[in-house]
Amino acid sequence: MFDNINKPKGLKRVYLATLNSLRAFNWLVKNEAAFRQELLLLVLVIPITFLLDITIKEQLILIISTLFILFTEVLNTAIESVVDRVGLEIHPLSGLAKDLGSAAVFISLVIAVCTWVAILL
């Protein structure tokens, strides 16, 4: 049971939060195909940025725009998990929540593509 009164503080809180994040990352890699695909994209584009004739600032912008895709995928998966936790029956609001999460991922992909095009052209 969660103890809301005696929550960890200081470095212990940071350590436990890091463990939780690593557990979530591990779960995503094992269970979410979209996350694995986007992670592969990130692993591929990082070395490519070192081969381009661009500034360090532009390189960082390209990498961050790709990381943003992963960020939105994590939020989308969180939304889907909460909706599924509440109930697996089909409901318009459940579908809307999942569609909105998917739209967020789509927008992040558009942002990344626009960023890459703007810097490379």
Residues near 57 by Cβ (< 8 Å), separated by ≥ 6? none
From the candidates 32, 73, 80, 89, give the one annotated as an active-site residue. Answer: 73
CA distance 93 to 75: 17
Residues near 111 by Cβ (< 8 Å), separated by ≥ 6? 65, 68
Residue 73 among the catalytic residues: yes
DSSP-based three-state secondary structure for 1: coil
CA distance 57 to 50: 12
DSSP-based three-state secondary structure for 109: helix
| Active-site annotation, residues | 73
